[in-house]
Structure 1
Amino acid sequence: MMESREVPRPKVPSLDQTDINWDKLDKTKLYVVGAGIFSGVTVALYPVSVIKTRMQVASKDAAQKNAFAAFKNILRADGIPGLYRGFATVITGAIPARIIFLTSLETTKAALLQLVRPLNLSEPAQAAIANGLAGMSASICSQSVFVPIDVVSQKLMVQGYSGHAKYNGGLDVARKILQSEGVRGLYRGFGLSIMTYTPSSAVWWASYGSSQRIIWRLLGHDQNSDGVPSQWKIVGVQATGGVIAGAIASCITTPIDTIKTRLQVMDNEKKQTARQVVRRLIAEDGWKERLCAKTEAI
């Protein structure tokens, strides 16, 4: 009687087992759980966005020269609700926008990883190219939803402050924009948003993917390693990669984000070009102070 022999399974490199690609994802969990996590993170970080926006539109003589001063001013004037102006608008629109972003990101990344493998590049280079181009593609696809949300929510964040108009919620903002400027008004700053978030997304995801590969190599793991890293080690490497990516991306995109915010919160009567906004910012406090120092609130 012949003994049955098990066919050996193909060896899967340890680092490949740490990657989460489109074909491995549970789509239901990605969208449902992802939306829940995103909403929770938004609740926690939304006040930072409000403070940052207030600082970006502050006039030269305003008291809000730093994040703490802006925080105290908002609490004094509006209490805790003031830190969440425009929150409902952001949550309502950002979830579908996030779904568009994630779908585009993961499908594009999976396709690009297959395309770059025959190029015989190093693992960090492959990860940087695939993740960077995927991040760029995802950002472009999602901006059609993100920009109108940005315009409406930012007007709510600064309403009644420094001469800005007051509104009765997000729908009132959208209605008045459509009446005065048409659909084009909801996409004010669209070009700058593409210039801000597309490079930012590309840089973030490229840095995130490549930095993880570099960290794994420093820890003694590469594609020839047999042992699969522990879950805690995987989480630690991913978190470190995220911090590195965030630091690199914010340094590159903060100046453009400041200009974009100024454009988006302007009333139609005070509308200026991007060049005029830059000149005004430099004239008020100088390039470094007005465009770069806003990273205090990030």
Structure 2
Amino acid sequence: MDSSGTRAHSFGQTEINWDKLDKTKFYLVGAGLFTGVTVALYPVSVVKTRLQVASRDTVERNTFSVIRGILRTDGIPGLYRGFGTVITGAIPARIIFLTALETTKVAAFRMVEPFKLSEPTQAAVANGIAGMTASLFSQAVFVPIDVVSQKLMVQGYSGHAKYNGGLDVARKVLKSDGIRGFYRGFGLSVMTYSPSSAVWWASYGSSQRIIWRFLGHGTEPEGAAPSQRTIMLVQATGGIIAGATASFITTPLDTIKTRLQVMGHEKRSTARQVVKGLIADDGWKGLYRGLGPRFFSMSAWGTSMILAYEYLKRLCSIDE
């Protein structure tokens, strides 16, 4: 194992490098694990998206009123609008993301090693580079899925059109805007998700090492290994810290991107006009619409994802 792997173990972690994974098992088991996590957390994305597109005269403008409204009109299925579209596109997007993340992380650790940075800083830089690169690669698949799913999430809400499923959305987008209609907000998606991914992975990588040092691990490379429960608690705490940091920094861009993506052909606006509208309605806090659900989503998703991800890597490691 390379030096980055050795360092990871000295901090009580169980990081497993890309070359130590059974790739076929990693992708197959990973698809199942992350589908399960998506099922559990998808309703939060629906609520967050509706809050971000609410107009000034919309009655349901807080989290609980949105949930009540969805349950009243559509029941539990309403919380899963667009889910089929998301899960269809999420699997290839996730494969691209994880492959790019793991391969880039190894290269990034080697790249920053000569700079002799502190452990948390080195982890933040390497993980941040890997997270941003992985997000850039996966956006080409994810953005069209995002456009279709978000239109389904908000259909019939706050004056938005209704559709007969994902294929109906795709046909109408193609008819009104052509292929580029599937990439509305692509620039903002890249500007939102790539920095968000970079911040998330950088925060996760550095916070873990800080926590391990606080717990007394890492000062003695040959010290007793922590229990699996401790490892999972540290990873979960790192996921919460990463989610809080990333959601606060990137929510304004996410709100603008969401509004651009769900607008109909006749209501097309620029990013500047969207910002002006949000500020006119609610002042600068309008840019943070849906911050609560987004923070919860990113923290819950991040914590669940990282625990599933680390478990997946342990499960798929090649025995030597």
TM over 0.5: yes
Query: 1:280: how far off?
Result: 0.4
Match of 1:117 among 113, 131, 141: 113
Instruction: Give distance in 1, aligned partners of 2:259 and 2:112.
Output: 40
1:160 positional shift:
1.8
Alignment partners' CA distance in 2, 1:146 and 1:154: 12
Distance (Å, rounded) in 1 between the aligned partners of 2:281 and 2:111? 49
How far residue 17 of structure 1 moved from its aligned partner, in angstroms, is 5.9
Aligned to 1:34: 30
Q: Is the 8 A contact 1:131 1:206 kept in 2?
A: yes
Match of 1:234 in 2: 231
Change (3 A) 1:170 1:51: same
Question: 1:132, CA displacement in angstroms?
Answer: 0.2
Q: Which residue of 2 aligns with 1:211?
A: 207
Q: Is the 8 A contact 1:16 1:223 kept in 2?
A: no
- Shift of the 37–297 alpha-carbon distance from structure 1 to 2, 3 Å rule, reads same
Task: Give SS of 2:138's match.
Answer: helix
1:76-108 Cα offsets, whole Å, 9 max, x none, are: 111111111100000000111000000000000
**1:172 matched residue in structure 2:** 168
Per-residue deviation, 1:197: 0.5
AA partner of residue 186 (structure 2) = F
Cα contact 1:66–1:296 (8 A) shared by 2: no
The alignment partner of 2:11 has SS state of helix
Q: Counterparts in 2 of 1:1-298, with a 5 A limit?
A: 14-15=10-11, 18-222=14-218, 224-226=220-222, 227-288=224-285, 290-298=286-294
Q: 1:217 aligns to what SS in structure 2? A: helix
Structure 1: distance between partners of 2:220 and 2:19: 23
Q: Name the aligned partner's letter for residue 234 of structure 2.
A: V
Query: Quick one: distance in 2 between partners of 1:50 and 1:216?
Result: 36
TM superposition shift of 1:191: 0.4
* Amino acid aligned to 2:203: S
Counterpart-to-counterpart distance in 1, 2:96 and 2:280:
39
Kept in 2, the 8 Å contact 1:124–1:214? The answer is yes
- Residue 131 of structure 2 contacts residue 198 of structure 2 at CA under 8 Å; is this kept in 1? yes
**TM-aligned CA deviation for residue 75 of structure 1:** 0.9
**Which amino acid in 1 is paired with 2:259?**
R
**Could you tell me how far apart the structure 2 residues matched to 1:244 and 1:18 are?**
19
Q: Which structure is richer in relative contact order (CA contacts within 8 A, separation 6 or more)?
A: 2
Distance in 2 (CA, whole Å) between partners of 1:245 and 1:296 is: 15
Moved more, 134-143 or 37-46: 37-46
Which structure 1 residue ranges, 5 or more long, are not aligned? 1-10
Identity %: 72
CA distance in 1, matches of 2:232, 2:113: 25
Q: How many residues are aligned here?
A: 287
Listed as ranges, the gaps of 5+ residues in structure 2 are: 1-5, 295-320
Shift of 1:223: 5.8
What code does the residue aligned with 2:246 have?
A
Report which stretch shifted further, 188-197 or 229-238.
229-238
| Per-residue Cα deviation, 1:177-229 (whole angstroms, up to 9, x for no partner) | 11111110000000000110011000000000011111111111116421222
Q: Distance in 1 between matches of 2:26 and 2:125?
A: 24
Which string of whole-angstrom CA distances, capped at 9 and with x for unpartnered residues, describes residues 219-253 of structure 1? 11116421222222211111111111010000001
**Structure 1: distance between partners of 2:238 and 2:25:** 23
The one-letter code sitting in structure 2 at the alignment partner of 1:41 is: V
CA contact (8 A) 1:14 1:229 kept: no
**TM-score scaled by structure 2?**
0.86
Say which is worse superposed, 35-44 or 190-199, in terms of deviation.
35-44
